Structure 1
């Protein structure tokens, strides 16, 4: 249950950070956003939602590679 709550909190923080204007961001701010997004990905990956996203992206990549694009 803790990982779900932490995941939701990180998702809200990432959304709020990405809504800011690009010109107002410093390099440190951009690096912090990247770290937060990576942490969010690590928390989402073992969940059923993360597994579904991984399977969907795998099928998408296979479809694109088979079509020759």
Structure 2
């Protein structure tokens, strides 16, 4: 098991790479590690409701970049 290859798979998920685009030969140890890292990151994001950087919220188009009104 290679932590570097698992990390590579997780980072690939973050970049939007599809699982079938794994760069390693099917059945190899690297393939299994990469796919495992990809799947773990996907499961973690789904469980925790975390969006990838730059991914928009569904149904939330509020402008959160401005200043808040002072309390009255």
Same fold (TM over 0.5): no
TM-score interval w.r.t. the shorter chain? 0.3 to 0.5
Q: Compute the TM-score of the two structures, normalised by the length of structure 1.
A: 0.35
Q: Compute the TM-score of the two structures, normalised by the length of structure 2.
A: 0.34
Which has the greater radius of gyration? 2
